[in-house]
């Protein structure tokens, strides 16, 4: 049997198995096959592996130090199939990315500096560069639980996931219509709107202009198809105004997103909220706030003349802290916080997440995933250790012979 060193970590609201890249390079097996074997896939229950049989618990993060002098760590996210023998490398996971800086510090790939250490991170799925900050002390990681985020019932150690210069990534500019406030019409509804592109393109509307409070539960909003249709019409009109579609009908379903905002009342303000928000994504009200949406709202709040800054009585600077200017948005799940700072002359908007190391150890790889012991394995076995051949090793990577081979390599 082969064992693969691994760390299990909670990152935000996901549970992620974390690997050093070379540890997944096993002779005769693809990385996909190794991950599927470790996770117990394909199997709807992932009973024979470490997968948790849900999308948020069948995730892997693969890390290595970077050769690029501007990058400390490169990481790749893998969504490991559950009942399919398939690994999806096509997207990043904002939650799992919270494990990158803490893992890099523990590995010694980054030298801790004081109580807060900066880690430059490249996600290879998307090519996106991030700057993360994680708490450190006494030259090591500071893993004490100090911070609570929506969706996690216990406090965790804080990590800030910074998006470097996020403005205009989709359209070329922060305010793609050229104006901080536009007017959008859908049916007989015409309202002011801010169209902002940061993290993701977002259409921002004032709740009061729609007869809403922005305190509605997602279920209550989802139960009003007429309202959702109007909001989607305004979202599509915004897509046209942002140059993302020629007609409202041609607008994509996923982007732009739509946010409905209100100013916090006195009690909400003293509870830490700078803004109250309900966000629609893919036609449904989000249970909290997507990270990309929180980045967009943070930058919209800082610009003069947007519907957000108008609501707040002028451009909002949040609350100054060591980590930057914190801006907290009250969502159905609680406060979602970002930090704004300028580093190396570039604006950085960071989402505050938490992490915790759960397990340090190694995962056993099945002899041959999904198949009984092969004849090749028996052959390799009977001839080791003196004369195991390369052919036997290649044909049966989990056999004792190949383990022997690995130990030599």
The answer to the question of residue 100 lying near a copy of itself (CB under 8 A) is: no
Per CB under 8 A, which of residues 346..405 are in contact with a copy of itself?
356-364, 366-367, 369-373, 377
Q: How many CB atoms lie within 10 A of CB 74?
A: 18
The answer to the question of residue 144 lying near a copy of itself (CB under 8 A) is: yes
The answer to the question of residue 272 lying near a copy of itself (CB under 8 A) is: no
Place of tokens 């007989």: 188
Which of 108, 139, 145, 314 is in the footprint of a copy of itself by CB under 8 A?
A: 145
Which of 65, 150, 155, 283 is in the footprint of a copy of itself by CB under 8 A?
A: 155
The residues, ordered by sequence, that sit 6+ positions from 383 with a Cβ below 8 Å of its Cβ are: 389, 392, 401
Cis status of the peptide bond prior to 155, with omega within 30 of 0: no
Identify which of residues 105 and 275 has a Cβ nearer to a copy of itself in the complex.
Answer: 105
Q: Tell me the site size for a copy of itself, rule CB under 8 A.
A: 46
Question: How many Å apart are CA 63 and CA 80, to the nearest integer?
Answer: 16
The answer to the question of residue 317 lying near a copy of itself (CB under 8 A) is: no
Q: Retrieve residue 97's tokens.
A: 């990315």
Select from 113, 45, 51, 104 the least CA-distant residue to 80. 51
Least distance (Å) from a copy of itself to the CB of residue 1? 6
H or E stretch including 349? strand 346-365
Cis status of the peptide bond prior to 169, with omega within 30 of 0: no
Which of 114, 154, 225, 249 is in the footprint of a copy of itself by CB under 8 A?
A: 154
The answer to the question of residue 106 lying near a copy of itself (CB under 8 A) is: no
The answer to the question of residue 120 lying near a copy of itself (CB under 8 A) is: no
- Of 98-106, 139-147, 191-199, 213-221, the window that binds a copy of itself (rule: CB under 8 A) is 139-147
- Of 146-154, 184-192, 253-261, 262-270, the window that binds a copy of itself (rule: CB under 8 A) is 146-154
Question: How many Å apart are CA 341 and CA 399, to the nearest integer?
Answer: 52
> Exposure of 300 by Cβ count < 10 A (0-12 exposed, 13-18 middle, 19+ buried)?
buried
Least distance (Å) from a copy of itself to the CB of residue 336? 17
Question: How many Å apart are CA 318 and CA 327, to the nearest integer?
Answer: 5
Least distance (Å) from a copy of itself to the CB of residue 316? 28
Strands 324-331 and 87-88: unpaired
Least distance (Å) from a copy of itself to the CB of residue 142? 11
Q: Please give the residue ranges that form the binding site for a copy of itself (CB under 8 A).
A: 1, 3, 6, 8, 10, 13, 15, 40, 42-43, 47-50, 52-54, 57, 143-146, 148, 151-156, 356-364, 366-367, 369-373, 377
């Amino acid at each position: 049997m082969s064992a693969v060193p691994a760390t299990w970590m909670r990152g935000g609201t996901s549970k992620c198995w974390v690997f050093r890249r070379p540890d997944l390079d096993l002779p005769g097996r693809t990385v996909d096959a190794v991950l599927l074997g470790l996770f117990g896939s394909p199997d709807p229950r992932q009973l024979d592996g470490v997968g948790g049989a849900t999308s948020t618990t069948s995730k892997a993060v693969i890390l290595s130090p970077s050769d690029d002098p501007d990058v400390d760590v490169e990481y790749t996210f893998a969504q490991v199939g559950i009942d399919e023998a398939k690994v999806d490398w096509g997207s990043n996971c904002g939650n799992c990315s919270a494990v990158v800086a803490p893992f890099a510090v523990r590995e010694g790939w980054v030298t801790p500096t004081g109580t807060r250490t900066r880690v430059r991170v490249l996600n290879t799925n998307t090519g996106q560069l991030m700057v993360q900050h994680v708490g450190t002390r006494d030259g090591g990681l500071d893993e004490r639980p100090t911070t609570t985020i929506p969706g996690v019932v216990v406090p965790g150690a804080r990590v800030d996931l910074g998006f470097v210069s996020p403005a205009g990534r989709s359209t070329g500019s922060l305010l793609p219509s050229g104006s901080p406030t536009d007017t959008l019409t859908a049916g007989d509804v015409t309202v002011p709107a801010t169209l902002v592109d940061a993290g993701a393109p977002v259409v921002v509307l004032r709740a009061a202009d729609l007869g809403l409070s922005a305190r509605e539960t997602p279920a209550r909003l989802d139960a009003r198809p007429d309202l959702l249709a109007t909001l989607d019409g305004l979202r599509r009109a915004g897509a046209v105004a942002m140059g993302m579609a020629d007609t409202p009908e041609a607008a994509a379903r996923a982007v732009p997103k739509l946010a409905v905002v209100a100013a916090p009342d006195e009690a909400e303000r003293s509870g830490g909220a700078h803004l109250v928000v309900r966000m629609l994504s893919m036609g449904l009200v989000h249970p909290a706030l997507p990270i990309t949406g929180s980045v967009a709202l943070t930058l919209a709040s800082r610009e003069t003349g947007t519907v957000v800054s108008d609501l707040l009585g002028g451009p909002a600077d949040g609350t100054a802290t060591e980590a930057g200017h914190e801006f907290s948005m009250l969502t159905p799940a609680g406060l979602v916080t970002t930090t704004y700072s300028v580093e190396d002359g570039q604006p950085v908007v960071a989402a505050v997440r938490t992490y915790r190391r759960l397990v340090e150890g190694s995962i056993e790889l099945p002899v041959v995933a999904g198949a009984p012991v092969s004849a090749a394995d028996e052959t390799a076995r009977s001839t080791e250790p003196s004369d195991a051949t390369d052919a036997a090793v290649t044909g049966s990577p989990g056999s004792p012979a190949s383990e022997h081979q690995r130990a030599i390599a």
